[in-house]
Homo-oligomer: A and B are copies of this chain.
C-alpha cells in the first residue's frame, strides 16, 4: 500500500495575500504542504503572504503558481471542491468529517488528491467544480454562512489530521497520575474527621455519620494522586495546628503579652 499523502490545497483566484499566508500557516499546522495558487489577484510573490504565514514558509516557497485551473489539476486524480453552497451537480456532497476518509482512501490507492477552494467572495465557479469528484461543505450556521478562506482551509486541514490520528480511546487522562487507593483516602478522612471532631464541627452529634459520608463522597470524587493526598494531609494539619515555627513564634508573642500584662 502506498504511503498516505495529505491532499494538495488549490486556491482559485485568491484576493488577499494575508489569506494565502494564513492558509499556508494552517496547512503547516496540520501537516499539509502542497499549495497551488491559481491567478492570485495581486501577483506573486507577495511579502504579506509570508508575514501572515508566521514562519510556515515552505508551502509558500514551494507553491505552484498557475495561470489556469487546468494547470493546477493536471497531475491530480481525486479532487474535492470546498463550497458553502452545494450546487445542482451530480457530485456526492461530504462534510469535512465524511470527506477525509474518502481522501485517505484515494491516497491509499496511490491517487494524487487535492481540495479546491474558491475566491473570498464569489466561491468556486461551476466550471471549476466540474473538474472535481465531490463537494465538501463545511457545516456552517445558516445565520452566518460567510466562512473566511483561511478558516475554511483550517477546518479541512484539521479534519485531515484528526482522522489520521483517530486512534479512538486514546489515553484520555494520560496527564494524570493514578489516584491513591482506598486505604490512603481513609487515612485522610480519619485525620480530617478527628480534627473536625476536635473542633466541634459535627453538630448535632447524631448527624455525624451523614456529615462524614457527604464529606467523603465529595473529596473522593477528586480522586487525589499520591502527591495531592500528602498535600491535603498537610493542609489539614496546617489548618488545625499551624506550622510549628509560625505557631511557636505567635505563641511566644502571646505569652510575652500575657507576661507583660501580668507584671
Contact = CB atoms under 8 A, between A and B. Distances in A.
Contact of A258 (B89, B161, B232, B259): B259
A228 interface: yes
Q: How large is the interface on A (under 10, 10 to 19, 20 to 34, 35 or more residues)?
A: 35 or more
A122 interface: no
Q: How many copies of this chain does the complex contain?
A: 2
Contacts of A243: 199-201, 203, 239-242
A121 to B, nearest CB: 10
Given A161-B141, A247-B247, A239 B196 contact: yes
A253 to B, nearest CB: 8
Interface string A32-55: 000000000000000000000011
Interface string A162-196: 10011000101111110000000000000010011
A242 B242 contact: no
Contacts of A219: 222
A252 interface: yes
Contacts of A140: 29-30, 161
Contacts of A145: 29
Contacts of A141: 28-31, 161
A126 interface: no
A151 interface: yes
Given A219-B222, A240-B239, A255-B258, A55 B144 contact: yes
A169 to B, nearest CB: 9
Contacts of A138: 29, 158
Contact of A221 (B135, B221, B246): B221
Contact of A95 (B147, B162, B173, B240): B162
B231 A242 contact: no
Contacts of A222: 218-219, 221-222
A255 B138 CA distance: 59
Nearest to A211: B231
